């Protein structure tokens, strides 16, 4: 069993380095010091005061500062803080930090300090403990700055900034974020590529702050800047936080498509990080799907399918199923029987839009066969108030999805019925189309073209008409004789020379 097992905190959500078990059993040292340490550990539960005395006696038994003295101070500080002995805890923590410089390895000291800060942070439930915690952070930052340990200085500052965010102390957070941004930049003010991971963590904190304060303008600028950082290899949880905040930002702008993309990416990153926040973000993804009016089931993807039957998400699964089936009664029943769904402020804020959409479709379906109905009838069928029914019907009329009039005095609605209206409109559209075709063919094109046989027939007729016209003119000029010696008579035509012509006799 490692030394920190009794006090190990669930710091996975706050710490992004890999953690390793302490190999205290493998440590060599003076047998008396080692026995004293383990005897003190056995006293922690039954006699914590005596255990503290034993732990604090360990450093004096070592000729030089070493691991056993460091471990003893570490256990004593945790016990003192737990018993409310904050001043003693701060004093001994100051002594513990002197071991960081040379007595223990850098990785072990960093891990131990991070675990200590996590323990202090989660145990700060009153004002005195809160002041003690501030002193712990202040001493830690001073120590690491003096030892030129910039990496741990940045991590501790980010941890402190996260604490300000959790406590909604935005004034302290703004100053700390500004300090961190400067630390992640070069001398010329540009971002330092070697600190891209820390820079993204700072962006995530700042984005969360502006999301909480609903400063969408600043949030949008930071969100786009964070997505352009390419020099970092961030922990997936950081990207999950950034994407989740981006999804909420898009939701506030009613940009459902972009919100769906961000929530899906956030879920994927949280899932990769093993964060429990993935369940909550998956609920947001389902909510966005309903707001989009999409018929695609969000649980059809490979990443989300394993969670379809998860009891934590079952209510949202049933909701999206009822939504896609347009089953208003089942939808309302699910919301009524799963009050915990609305405990999330973000879901509670946006589910109303989905509910209104469901009720609007239900009203249209219900009134389809009627030309007149009462608001009370619709309210009874949908199990909502008459005022809400009137609001929905009014919206449908204004949006031109329903032609009718509301009689508020009688609480009734009369649908305007004009059976010829659609036919008249169709005739008008047909007439307009024909007129447009006529203009195109006769004005802009070459008109109607006849086929070849018609053209030949027309040419022949025209030629015959021209010949007849010429013969008639010649007849008049020659005194009744045609150009070839023809003459007109009462019985027909005859030619001089005695030859009988058609229509006449000799």
Cβ pair 482, 471 in contact under 8 A: yes
**SS3 helix, strand, coil % of the chain, rounded to 5?**
65, 5, 30
* DSSP code for 481: B
pTM for the predicted model, two decimal places:
0.63
Cβ pair 378, 368 in contact under 8 A: no
Q: What is the mean pLDDT of each run of 10 residues along the chain (506 residues)?
A: 45 45 48 83 87 87 83 90 89 86 77 85 78 85 75 85 86 89 82 84 91 88 86 84 92 90 94 91 91 82 86 86 86 86 85 87 86 88 86 86 84 75 73 83 61 48 45 47 44 42 39
Q: Report how far residue 164's alpha carbon sits from residue 158's, in angstroms, rounded to the nearest whole number.
A: 10
Taking each continuous run of H as one helix and of E as one strand, the counts in the chain are 21, 5
pLDDT tens, residue by residue, 379-396: 888 888 888 888 888 888
What pLDDT, on the 0 to 100 scale, is given for residue 24? 47
Q: Report how far residue 42's alpha carbon sits from residue 48's, in angstroms, rounded to the nearest whole number.
A: 10
Residue 7 has which token pair?
Answer: 């006090």
Beta-carbon contacts of residue 103 (< 8 Å; ≥ 6 apart): 64, 65, 66, 67, 69, 70
What pLDDT, on the 0 to 100 scale, is given for residue 261? 93
């Amino acid at each position: 069993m490692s030394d920190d097992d009794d006090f190990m905190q669930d710091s996975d959500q706050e710490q992004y380095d890999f953690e390793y078990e302490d190999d205290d059993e493998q440590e060599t040292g003076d047998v008396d010091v080692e026995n004293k340490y383990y005897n003190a550990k056995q006293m922690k539960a039954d006699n914590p005061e005596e255990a503290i005395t034993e732990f604090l006696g360990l450093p004096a038994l070592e000729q030089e500062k070493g691991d056993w003295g460091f471990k003893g101070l570490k256990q004593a500080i945790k016990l003192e803080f737990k018993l409310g002995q904050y001043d003693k805890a701060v004093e001994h923590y100051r002594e513990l930090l002197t071991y960081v410089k040379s007595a223990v390895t850098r990785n072990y000291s960093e891990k131990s300090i991070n675990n200590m800060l996590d323990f202090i942070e989660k145990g700060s439930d009153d004002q005195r403990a809160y002041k003690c915690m501030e002193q712990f952070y202040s001493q830690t930052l001073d120590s690491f700055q003096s030892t030129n340990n910039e990496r741990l200085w940045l991590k501790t500052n980010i941890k402190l900034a996260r604490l300000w965010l959790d406590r909604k102390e935005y004034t302290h957070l703004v100053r700390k974020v500004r300090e961190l941004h400067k630390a992640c930049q070069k001398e010329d003010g540009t971002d330092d590529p070697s600190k891209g991971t820390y820079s993204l963590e700072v962006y995530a904190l700042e984005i969360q702050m502006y999301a909480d304060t609903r400063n969408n303008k600043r949030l949008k600028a930071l969100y786009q800047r964070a997505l352009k950082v390419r020099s970092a290899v961030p922990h997936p949880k950081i990207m999950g936080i950034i994407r989740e905040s981006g999804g909420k930002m898009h939701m506030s702008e009613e940009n459902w498509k972009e919100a769906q993309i961000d929530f899906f990416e956030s879920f994927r990153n949280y899932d990769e990080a093993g964060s429990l926040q993935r369940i909550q973000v998956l609920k947001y993804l389902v909510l966005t799907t309903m707001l989009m009016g999409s018929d695609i089931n969000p649980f059809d993807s490979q990443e989300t399918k394993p969670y379809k039957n998860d009891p934590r998400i079952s209510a949202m699964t049933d909701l999206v199923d009822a939504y896609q089936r347009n089953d208003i009664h089942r939808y309302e029943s699910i919301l009524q029987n799963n009050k915990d769904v609305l405990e999330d402020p973000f879901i509670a804020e946006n589910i109303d839009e989905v509910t209104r959409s469901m009720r609007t479709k239900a009203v249209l379906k219900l009134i389809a066969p009627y030309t007149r109905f009462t608001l009370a009838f619709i309210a009874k069928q949908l199990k909502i108030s008459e005022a809400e029914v009137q609001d929905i019907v009014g919206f449908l009329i204004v949006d031109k999805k329903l032609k009718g009039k509301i009689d508020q005095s009688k609480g009734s609605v009369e649908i305007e019925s004009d059976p010829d209206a659609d036919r008249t409109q169709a005739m008008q559209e047909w007439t307009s189309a024909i007129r447009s075709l006529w203009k195109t063919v006769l004005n802009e094109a070459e008109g109607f073209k006849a086929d070849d046989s018609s053209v030949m027939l027309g040419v022949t007729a025209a030629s015959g008409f021209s010949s007849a016209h010429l013969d008639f003119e010649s007849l008049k000029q020659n005194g009744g004789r045609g150009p070839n010696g023809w003459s007109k008579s009462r019985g027909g035509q005859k030619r001089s020379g005695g030859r009988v012509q058609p229509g006449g006799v000799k």
